Amino acid sequence: MVSFSLFIIVVICLFHLMIGLFVLLTNKRDRTNQLFFAFVLSIIGWLITNYFSDDGTFSHTIVDVFNVAVFEFPVIAAYFVLLFSLLFTGKYSARAPWQKVAIVLGTGTMMIVSGTKLLVDGLLIKGHNVYGIVYGPATPFYFAYLLIYFGLVIIIFIRALRQSTGAKRTRIRYILAGILASFSVAIVTNLLLPFITHDFSLDTLGPFSTLFLVGGISYAIVKHRLFDIRVVVARSVAFVVLIAVLAVAYGVVIFGASVLLFPGKQLDAAQSVIFISLSLLMAVTFQSLRRTTERLTDNIFFRNRYDSQDVINNFSKILVSELDLSRILKKALTELCEQLHIQFGQILVYNNDRVYRIEHFGPLPQRLMVAPELAKLDHSMLIADELPIGERKTLMDQHGIRISMALRTREESVGYLLLGDKLSGDIYSNQDIEILEIIGKELAVAVLNAKAYAQIQEFNLTLQARIDHATGRLRVANRHLKELDRAKDEFISMASHQLRTPLTTIKGYLSMMLEGDAGRLTAPQKEFVGYAFGSSERMVNLISDLLNVSRLSAGRFLIQTKPTDMVQMVADEVRQLETHASGKGIKLIFNAPPEKLPPAQIDENKTRQVIMNFIDNAIYYTQKGEVRVVLDQTPERVRLEVRDSGIGVPDAAKRKLFSKFFRADNAQTVRPDGTGLGLYLAKRVVEDQGGTIIFSSTEGKGSTFGFELPTKPTAATSEDKHGRSK
Amino acid sequence: MAAANDNPKEAPPKEDADKDSKLILIAEDDPFISRMYQIKLEGAGLRVIVKNNGRDAFEAIRSEHPSLALLDINMPELSGLEVLAALQSDGFDFASMPVIVLTNSSELSDRNKAHSYGAEYLVKAELTPREVLNMIAAKLGMEQSTP
């Protein structure tokens, strides 16, 4: 059965080598990984030398070398595994320098000692079989060395097991279990039993013991992210184990079959090698096709290599370029899940402790987390694989969530980012987690800003709605007011007409009496009828004023311009009022411009009314002195001023002087029957023709009223007014 | 505005009152007003016919050929403006007869319409009968001088 045990050794060695290489290649620069690889190599060395040390077919020198090496490798292995345990558990740097020196010195001393006759004094050889060893005096020290070193390893891992939590604890547990199992088996079979009984028949069990250790480590790799090994590697480890198992099984079947079919006829070495090779080939090819296709798909679909900086940059760009909350959430989540190859993700945004927005990526979860559940996950980052068994881990597992991040800024909690499995089924790598930590902070700030922006938008909408509502009501009120205004105008128009008809008769017949159409009147008759006539006149004028005001407010004030000789017009008005002025003992003076002027394009009738009004007022409100009318005209403008030395306008009244129905107190006293419409209408007439009113006054000293009019119609005057009147 | 003058400056032509005097049509539904103008105009030596509705006024203008017409606007049957419209569609020559629209309604649209027929537009209440007479005299005087 020499060949069979060789086959077993080869498989085990290959298995060890692969595991060691995977670990090393995962992170070549990490000393922990390097030490693990060295440890695995020294175990392989021990396995090989242990196998050949029993074989006496080699020359004596080679047999001697093997038998020295078989003791040297455990020394080295013990050294590497001790350093590994210290580094892995993070205790190496805490050790005092003398301790580190002692470890090196101990190993060095023991290596030297193992190479001398002090340990292996001689070999017991029978034929081609080395069946025993003559132990030298240093043997107890050798045992002590191994016990101390491996003992330390076990103690270190036990301590670490107590101090660690979560996934790390699980990993250490498996490593520890592997170490304990393999150490105890190897020490019993390969050290204690041979030493005590001098029986080496069981030392072939030693190699199997290392399977416990490597098996434990493999399990930790596959299930618990030991050494941060990616899934392809983890899966490969599983394949290696499978192949090894298959190869052993096939080998056993082949050997069993050959023994049964050809009893008494042992297979020779060449045949054995062929069978072993075939069984290995079968085992390998059985899986190779599947493995190749799986590798291919891995490379195409689950390629989760990415550039952290790129992902972060893209992510920042999204956060900066968007302000709308829903779009930010959608884009950010999509980018994150696509770049990191995550099956599904969720962002929940909170507002006042209630879920405000939810965004999904990938398949929808069967059930959403509710607020009390989420409250349990209120940590900056929770990774389900690393959580100790408990409420939170169960909760996350139930929802298929591998990572939960509470998004928060310094001031407030914003929501949660929940991520499911990776598409590859892989666990989240350190790179993923680092990126998530960076992105999580940025996302929290961006979400907070977007939320504020969204709330402002919503507020704007309600505000707009309120404004629209208020405007609508105002519009209705305005329409109602316009209707009322029109009704008022119609009423005034009708009332005026109805008042004017009897007034026409009263005024007409009174005028005829005065004119002698009813015979000669006595002086008192003439006087009294004259009063009645004057009052009827005033009433007619009052009605005209009222109508004009009503028309003005309805926008129906019509300006009709025609070429007018201003000098002629002003002279007419002055002549008409001269009697009135001289009757009061006031001088009425007209300062006409020296040369003849071209006609001005103005509304003659209305402007005449204005001029008359100014002069009439000036005479009324002046007790003594003069009223001077000054006319001045340029080709563009005509300027008229009526200056008096009358009572003037009090400062308080100046501002409202041109308002409808307004009358200054002192004017009220002098002329109680005034309507307060004259100046208001004057201002409208002047301004509707594109002109400006001139007014200045000092109370008690006198006033100046006047206007400046453009002599040619402007766009703002006649045409415009025509258009509006129709 | 202008006070009633005691002494009329311009006396209307009083000679040849009967044979060659002008005929004035007054269309006015208010008898007090029509009578008032009638007295004043006849006193000035003019002949007057009074009609108290638009239809009669229209017929009178066609049959009597007055020298001038005073038309009220608000009248039964036809308004003063409708009379003008009817005359126009009848092919009436407005240049042969000056028209003064005398009304107490001061709608701007009415005024514009009156102007479009070449008619004068005046507010009754703002004028004394003498002022109306003076205006008629002026119109007729101009008419007389031009042909």
What pLDDT does residue A510 have? 93
ipTM: 0.81
Q: How far is CA A71 from the centre of its chain?
A: 65
Nearest chain B residue (CA) to A548:
B106
Q: pLDDT > 70: what percent of chain B?
A: 81
Picking from B126, B127, B131 by the largest number of A CB atoms within 10 A of its own CB, the best residue to mutate is B126
Give the pLDDT of residue A290.
57
Please say whether the beta carbons of A423 and A341 come within 8 A. yes
**Burial grade of A218 (CB within 10 A; 0-12, 13-18, 19 or more):** buried
Confidence grade of residue B6 (pLDDT, cut at 50, 70, 90): very low
Q: Tell me which residue has tokens 């006849």.
A: B42
A504 interfacial to chain B (CB closer than 8 Å): yes
- pLDDT per residue as tens digits for the range A431-469: 788 888 888 888 888 888 888 888 888 889 999 999 999
> Is pLDDT above 90 for B26?
yes
For residue A541, the chain B residues in CB contact (below 8 A) are 1
Residue that wins the pLDDT comparison between A716 and A261:
A261
Range with the poorest average pLDDT among A375-384, A403-412, A596-605, B138-147: B138-147
Confidence of residue B34 (pLDDT cuts 50, 70, 90): very high
Report yes or no: A544 at the B interface, CB cutoff 8 Å: yes
Of residues A255 and A120, more confidently modeled: A120
| pLDDT recorded at residue B9 | 41
Share of chain A above pLDDT 90, in %: 8
Q: Which residue among B6, B39, B105 places its CB closest to the CB of A517?
A: B39
Facing B125 at nearest CB: one of A507, A514, A533: A507
Q: How far is CA A69 from CA A53, A85, A113, in A?
A: 9, 24, 12
The overall average pLDDT reported for chain A is: 78
Residue A81: the pLDDT is 87
Identify the pLDDT of residue B87. 87
Q: Which of B1, B36, B106 sits opposite A508 (nearest CB)?
A: B36
Claim: this prediction has a pTM higher than 0.80: no
E strands, A559-625, in order:
562-564, 587-591, 600-602
Name the pLDDT band for A725 (thresholds 50, 70, 90).
Answer: very low
Reported as a single tens digit per residue, the pLDDT across A198-243 is: 655 555 566 667 777 776 776 666 555 555 554 445 555 566 666 6
Q: Is the pLDDT of residue B98 over 80?
A: yes
Q: What is the pLDDT of residue A656?
A: 84
Site from B104, B122, B133 to mutate, A interface, most A CB atoms within 10 angstroms? B104
Say which residue, B46 or A634, is predicted with more confidence.
B46
For chain B, what is the mean pLDDT? Answer: 79
- pLDDT at res. A707: 93
Q: Is the pLDDT of residue A520 over 60?
A: yes
What is the predicted pLDDT for the residue at A338?
Answer: 85
Rounded mean pLDDT of A105-123?
81
> What pLDDT does B36 receive?
92
Range of lowest pLDDT (A266-280, A427-441, A612-626, B60-74):
A266-280
Closest-CA distance of chain A to residue B128, Å: 5
The phi and psi torsions of A320 (rounded to 5 degrees) equal: -80, -35
For residue A148, give Cα distances in angstroms to A75, A104, A687, B16: 11, 14, 115, 164
Tell me the chain B residues in contact with residue A493 when contact means C-beta distances shorter than 8 Å: 105-107
Closest residue by Cα to residue A607 from A572, A656, A644:
A572
Question: Which residue carries 């002192």 as its tokens?
Answer: A666
**Chain B contact probe: residue of A490, A498, A500 with most B CBs at under 10 A:** A500
- Split at pLDDT 50, 70, 90, the class of A328 is confident
pLDDT (0 to 100) of residue B1: 39
* Neighbouring-strand partners of residue A626: A587
pLDDT band (50, 70, 90) for residue A705: very high
Q: Which residue has the tokens 């056993």?
A: A252
Alpha helices in A406-429 (DSSP H): none
pLDDT of residue B145: 34
Which chain A residues are Cβ-neighbours of B32 within 8 angstroms?
505
DSSP β-ladder status, A600-602 and A562-564: antiparallel
- Report the alpha-carbon distance of residue A628 to residue A589 in Å, rounded: 5
**A481-490, A543-552, A586-595, B78-87: which has the minimum mean pLDDT?**
A543-552
Give the least confident one: A188-192, A419-423, A427-431, A632-636: A188-192
Least confident of A9-23, A195-209, A503-517, A603-617: A195-209
CB contact under 8 A, B125 and A576: no
pLDDT value of residue A363? 81
Mean predicted confidence (pLDDT) in A555-563: 68
Residue of B nearest to A546 (CA): B106
Q: Report residue A179: phi and psi, to 5°.
A: -60, -50
CB contacts, 8 Å: A554 with chain B = none
Residue A721 pLDDT grade (very low, low, confident, very high; cuts 50, 70, 90): very low
Q: Percent of chain A scored above 70 by pLDDT?
A: 77
Work out the average pLDDT over A33-56: 82
User: How many angstroms separate the CA atoms of A648 and A667, rounded?
Assistant: 9
Q: What's residue A695's pLDDT?
A: 92
* Residue of chain A whose alpha carbon sits nearest to that of B124: A504
Q: Which of A265-269, A326-330, A662-666 has the lowest average pLDDT?
A: A265-269
**CA–CA gap between residue A62 and residue A55 (Å, rounded):** 10
Residues of B in contact with A533 (CB under 8 A): 4
Question: Cβ-count burial of A651 within 10 angstroms (0-12 exposed, 13-18 middle, 19+ buried)?
Answer: exposed
User: How many residue pairs from chains A and B have C-beta atoms closer than 8 A?
Assistant: 73
Q: How far apart, in whole angstroms, are the C-alpha atoms of residue A542 and residue A534?
A: 12
Residue B19 has pLDDT above 90, yes or no: no
Of the candidates B106, B108, B129, the beta carbon closest to that of A511 is on: B129
* First and final C-alpha spacing in chain A: 125
CA distance B30 to chain A (A): 9
> Among A28-32, A148-152, A250-254, where is mean pLDDT lowest?
A250-254
Q: Is A497 on the interface with B (CB under 8 A)?
A: yes
So what's the pLDDT on residue A66?
80
Alpha helices (H) along B44-121: 54-64, 80-89, 108-116
Evaluate if residue B147 carries a pLDDT over 80: no
Residue A563 is predicted with a pLDDT of 84
- The whole-number average pLDDT for the span A275-284 is 63
Q: Mean pLDDT, to the nearest integer, of A338-350?
A: 87
d(CA B116, CA A181): 126
Contact B125 A512 (CB under 8 A): no
- Contact in structure between A332 and A443 (CB atoms under 8 Å): yes
The residue in chain A having the minimum alpha-carbon distance to the alpha carbon of residue B3 is A534
Predicted local distance difference test score (pLDDT) of residue A473: 92
Residues of A within 8 A of B40 (CB-CB) are: 512, 517
The residue of A490, A496, A497 whose CB has the most chain B CBs within 10 angstroms, and thus the best one to mutate to test that interface, is A497
CB atoms within 10 A of CB A276: 22
A497: nearest CB among B105, B108, B129: B105
Q: What is the largest CA-CA distance in chain A?
A: 185
Section A354-382 average pLDDT:
82
CA-based nearest residue in chain B for residue A517? B40
For strand A413-419 and strand A403-408, is the pairing parallel, antiparallel, or unpaired? antiparallel
pLDDT score at A642: 93
Write the residue in B3, B30, B129 that is nearest to A501 by C-beta. Answer: B30
> Quick one: pLDDT at residue A49?
83
Residue A277 has a pLDDT of 66
